[in-house]
């Protein structure tokens, strides 16, 4: 205990590892009191459980239930078993959407997380002046609602009056076509990166602050420079945080909705009804009125997200074991 306690004094706000375990060991209570404590604990999580069940488990189960039926505009609702799922895995629009998100994932997430990591390392090195200000300005885009961000970027991307187009025209160049078929996906990547770099940076930065400073001191004694410290100590130490942000990003990518939905209004023929799987489910439910099929799509999407997150986690664990 004593060693972790001193660390804590050095770094306020950090979480000493292995604390829960220690706590258990030093709790030799009698069984009656223990049971009462347990009951109290359940009582404390009850509000969460109620909301969790009512707002998440029940709707989830209900949409799962819906996905096995088919309700048509004409005729009664009928049980169709897995028919909606069979249709979905053969639905080119859905598959295209999923593949588009995979492409998005492979390009955008590495760029965003690298940027977040670099910013976090720079901030943590303590060599910046105006550190708080820089940290805040990188984080501020996250505080801008996604809808507003998409609207703003939609304006910036404008072909005629957007600032990029105006600069290009002033230089006698062809204005960049940010909203064309070919470039749209990258334009959306840019918006998402801009919005979430700060958020991921804060998570990594917090993890960096939790590293015991003794390690740095020891490294410096051994003659390691700032870069070496970052590479050999900091990055390995924040691997759990990186894993967390990766999984968040995977989930976020597959759930992409706001940005394409907003840009749709300025480039309606570039972003189709199935541009992202989430958008597709939404359009199926509310435009095509195929609630059951939309539920099946949503469930499949959930499965894809879980599978990809699991793969990410698994590969990270394997790497850890190897090292």
Partner 1 sequence: MHPRSTRRLVALTATTLAGALALTACGNGDGPAEEVAEDDFEAAMTTDTSLTFWTWVPDIQNQVDMFMEEYPAIDVEVVNVGQGADHYQQMRTALEAGSGFPDVTQIEFQYISSFRLGDNLLDLAPYVGDLSANYPEWVWSQVTVDDALYAIPQDTGPLGLLYREDLFAEAGIEVPTTWEEYAEAARTYREANPDGYITNMPGNDPGQFAGFMWQAGARPFGYDGEETVRIDLMSPEVQRVTQYWQDLIQEDLVAVDPDFTDQWYQGLANGVYASWPTAAWAPVFLQGTAGNTSGLWRATEIPQWEEGQNVSGNWGGSTNAVLSGTENPIAAAELARWINVEREPALRFANEQFLFPPSNEILQDADFLEEESEFYGGEQVNRKFAEISETVEVDFEWLPFMDYVYSSFGETVGSAIADRGDMMAALQAWNDDVIQYAESQGFTVE
Closer of 245 and 283 to partner 1 (Cβ): 283
Q: What would you report as the CA-atom Rg of the chain, rounded to the nearest whole angstrom?
A: 25
CB of 260 to partner 1, least distance (A): 14
Q: What is the largest CA-CA distance in the chain?
A: 82
* Residue with tokens 């977040």, as numbered in its chain: 116
CB of 156 to partner 1, least distance (A): 12
CB of 259 to partner 1, least distance (A): 17
CB of 269 to partner 1, least distance (A): 3
Closer of 80 and 224 to partner 1 (Cβ): 80
Closer of 42 and 155 to partner 1 (Cβ): 155
Closer of 238 and 262 to partner 1 (Cβ): 262
CB of 154 to partner 1, least distance (A): 9
Closer of 165 and 207 to partner 1 (Cβ): 165
Closer of 42 and 286 to partner 1 (Cβ): 286
Q: Which residues bind partner 1 (CB under 8 A)?
A: 72-75, 155, 158-161, 181, 265-270, 272-273, 283, 286-289
CB of 285 to partner 1, least distance (A): 9
How far is the C-alpha of 192 from the C-alpha of 195, rounded, in Å? Answer: 5
How far is the C-alpha of 178 from the C-alpha of 82, rounded, in Å? Answer: 40
Closer of 216 and 282 to partner 1 (Cβ): 282
Closer of 70 and 135 to partner 1 (Cβ): 70
* Residue with tokens 């609602």, as numbered in its chain: 145
How far is the C-alpha of 315 from the C-alpha of 242, rounded, in Å? Answer: 13
Closer of 30 and 160 to partner 1 (Cβ): 160
CB of 60 to partner 1, least distance (A): 19
CB of 289 to partner 1, least distance (A): 7
How far is the C-alpha of 279 from the C-alpha of 201, rounded, in Å? Answer: 28
Of 79, 54, 55, 53, nearest in space to 67 by CA = 79
CB of 55 to partner 1, least distance (A): 18
């Amino acid at each position: 205990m004593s060693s972790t306690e001193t660390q804590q004094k050095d770094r306020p706000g950090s979480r000493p590892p292995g604390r829960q375990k220690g706590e258990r060991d030093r709790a030799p209570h009698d069984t009656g009191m223990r049971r009462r404590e347990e009951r109290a604990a359940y009582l404390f999580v009850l509000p969460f459980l109620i909301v969790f069940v009512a707002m998440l488990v029940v709707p989830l189960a209900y949409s799962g239930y819906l996905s096995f039926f088919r309700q048509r505009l004409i005729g009664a609702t009928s049980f169709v078993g897995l028919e909606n799922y069979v249709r979905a895995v053969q639905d080119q629009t859905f598959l295209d959407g999923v593949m588009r998100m995979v492409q998005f994932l492979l390009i955008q997430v590495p760029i965003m997380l690298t940027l977040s990591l670099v910013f976090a390392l720079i901030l943590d090195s303590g060599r910046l002046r105006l550190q708080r200000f820089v940290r805040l300005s990188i984080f501020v885009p996250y505080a801008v609602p996604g809808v507003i961000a998409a609207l703003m970027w939609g304006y910036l991307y404008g072909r005629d009056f957007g600032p990029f187009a105006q600069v290009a025209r002033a230089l006698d160049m062809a204005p960049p076509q940010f909203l064309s078929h070919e470039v749209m996906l990258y334009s959306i990547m840019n918006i998402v990166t801009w919005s979430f770099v700060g958020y991921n940076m804060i998570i990594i930065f917090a993890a960096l602050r939790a590293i015991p400073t003794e390690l740095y001191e020891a490294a410096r004694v051994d003659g390691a420079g700032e870069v070496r410290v970052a590479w050999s100590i900091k990055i390995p130490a924040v691997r759990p945080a990186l894993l967390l942000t990766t999984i968040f990003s995977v989930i976020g990518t597959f759930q992409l909705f706001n940005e394409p939905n907003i840009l749709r209004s300025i480039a309606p023929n570039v972003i189709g009804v199935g541009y992202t799987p989430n958008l597709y489910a939404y359009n199926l439910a509310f435009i095509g009125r195929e609630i059951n099929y939309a539920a099946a799509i949503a469930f499949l999407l959930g499965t894809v997200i879980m599978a990809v997150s699991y793969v990410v986690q698994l590969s990270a664990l394997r790497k850890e074991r190897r090292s």
